[in-house]
Structure 1
Amino acid sequence: MNKLSNSISKEQIDRYAKHYNDQNKSKVLERAVTKNGILAASEGLRGGADYSPVFSIDLKTGAVANQKQSGRCWMFAALNTMRHHLSDEFKLKDFELSQNYTFFWDKFEKANWFYENIITTADKPTSDRKVSWLLNEPQGDGGQWDMLCAIIDKYGIVPESVYPETYNSNKSNEFNTLFNEKLRKDAVELRELVNAKTSEEQIQSRKEKMLEEVYRMASYSFGEPPTTFDWEYRDDDQNYHREAGLTPKSFYEKFVGWDLENYVSIINAPTDDKPFNHTYTIEMLGNVVGGRQVKHLNLNMHDFKQAAINQLKAGHSVWFGCDVGQHSEPRKRGLLDLGVYDEESLFDIDLSMSKAERLDYSESLMTHAMVITGVDLVDGEPKKWKVENSWGEKVGTKGYMVMTDEWMSEYCYQVVVDKQFLTEDQRKAQAEEPTKLLPWDPMGALAYKD
């Protein structure tokens, strides 16, 4: 075929321009969009939509946190579910766990994870898709629930007052840029050592020096993490408490005490390659070598929602992952609703795709993690959901957002629930050996939005 025959001709352009100018609305809409932008020109509240922050099940969870200019949403959301429990149990209003502490160890462990994957793939050229995928972003701020569990299993957690935020935890771009430069440079050396048939002992010895440098970089940037500490606090009744000689792991065991093995990831990925009621993991996805595996049980949307509702009814909040920027207005009004903007009517185009098509064709994947703290049930069916974000109190209603049930169906991909809130058949399915997916599968996406 002559490719020139498929080029755009002047006659085509003339035809398109005539059709455009024959429409009376074209110039009016052109002025509106050029002056105000696409979103402002297509914004509108749906008639009859209920955005009121009133829910039939509404957990009291206190003030929201603020991840600031970092991609730690997954970490904030997970620690928020734990602090909700801790705050209720020990009467600690607006208490926070240290997101900086888990951030430090996540960065440190991700370096080792990257090094080991680089060593494993050293026989492949840098043009190989897996090697290219590793080098594209050696590490970042993003993560998933199982990765946070791997950090806590190994290192525990501490109160925010014991290990507070730093400039670099609140604004992580400078550190990430330099850190990824170091990791790529180290990858050059590790690949050369492997391909020169250097002994495993020598390679690991060199990797250990690299990790020592990583520890130094992270300690300068986030502060060296504590190994033991004393903690003083007053509860909501103004009673004084002092805990001496705590370790991060003993603090977790005493003040949170969850068996994290019971908290499992449920996904809704209605694509042909992932039959429902089976489990999946993702090649090369993780942070702690030898730690907890990322594992997802895929359920249909009805069962997916029911698991979350069961947990909310029991008084426990729900970690979830979604594509927060899709057809939503999360920054000011705090609305996750398909009808917030109507770009299709504005441009007279059809953008309809199924959830499976959006996943298969790279239109959508998980980008952000938050916490579901309420749901509005009408005749037993969910109509809207209450969402606790980690962008501070200026978003939505003092940091809380409203998610319509329709939006959840289309753009929510993951929830984490205690296994007790699954059916017996679902628990059996969750226990099976997972199918391994390729590294770039959309279910391996990391929540990272700041």
Structure 2
Amino acid sequence: MKIAMIGTGYVGLVSGVCFSDFGHEVICVDKDPAKIEKLTNGQVPIFEPGLEALMVKNVAAGRLSFTLDLAAAVDGADAVFIAVGTPTRRGDGHADLTYVMAAAAEIGRALTGYAVVVTKSTVPIGTNRKVQAVVAEANPAAEFDVASNPEFLREGAAIDDFMRPDRVVVGVESERAKKVMADIYRPLFLRDFPVVYTGLESAEMIKYAANAFLATKITFINEIAALSERVGADIKAVSKGIGLDGRIGNKFLHAGPGYGGSCFPKDTKALARMGQEHAVPMQITETVIKVNDEIKRRMIDKITDLCDGSVNDKTVAVLGVTFKPNTDDMRDAPSLTIVPALVGMGAKVRVVDPEGLREGKALLPGVTWMDDAYAATEGASVMVILTEWNEFRALDLERIAGGMISPKMADLRNIYSEKEATEAGFDGYVGVGR
């Protein structure tokens, strides 16, 4: 199959590379000349474990290429995927569909034969109908179908998620389009991974419902963590105890400083907005958004309380600023709330993150970037663990405590226990839900 992938952001690039590894001929399109040049030279502009090696392999095999020329990529394609950004629109919480509709119009003008126009971007319910209308308006003679094919990729584990998915969701309305999509995903179907075919609106809704539910699980366990602190319960034991219930499951039950990233914040806001527009308020989702914001601010209080009520003129070492490990993504990361607050209260903030510098330098002004945890904590008053990178899980705590002025630890990911911290020489420790 010949596939055109419009957009080489996180979703588009991962999807394009993986489709080429299935054996399809894939051309990835972007409007950014610098990005296309990098990709053509074998350089991946994002951090995702395993992606660069897989990309280079398939370029060498002749199955994957990159271009600025959308028309050339679309010409003769069996399927054209739209994988452009849908950020939250300022002011009203809507998903901004500017890039999606612009891509649809350009695709319409470029179509020369039958193709399935597939929306891979996360879009509000009803968007694929609009895409269909935009393509038809741009080219009334075009022969095409539309399909909705939402992604379910976890940053840091995207290759495995694509190659071994829990399910593939495909919204289609014609047998011809269904056949094209079935051929594209045949390598997964042959290995018994579920491919779920639905209508367009159902496929769109599945994506939002899934992300809102996962965000709800995270927020729920964070609320239980706050109560656990007051009543003397240990959130790790609580999470394990409820997670072993098959009806609940243990995933997304890890207490911390709140959710962030490219999906949960914007998708929960978009779902809440859709509910308001259709007079069916998404009250649970709206509460999740509110509570998640409160949780981030609560973390600031934890740190200041640990420092006897003030961080003014104190050196604070922050370990990890990306929203999760194994990614360089800073979008809506808890650090973007917590770190500026510490700086604003007069703290001298040092930051270390294996992949966060590229984006974080512009987003976190007023901080000092360090090479490793030991350098960052030398002479500091408090160490704050914000992102649970593997390299922070096995630190020499005695070495760190010995190099700090008044060794205190705010472990906002519950990597260590109070017992471990105390035995290593820390004279103050606070976790989440303990």
> What's the TM-score once normalised by structure 2's chain length?
0.22
Relative contact order, higher structure (CA 8 A, sep 6+): 1
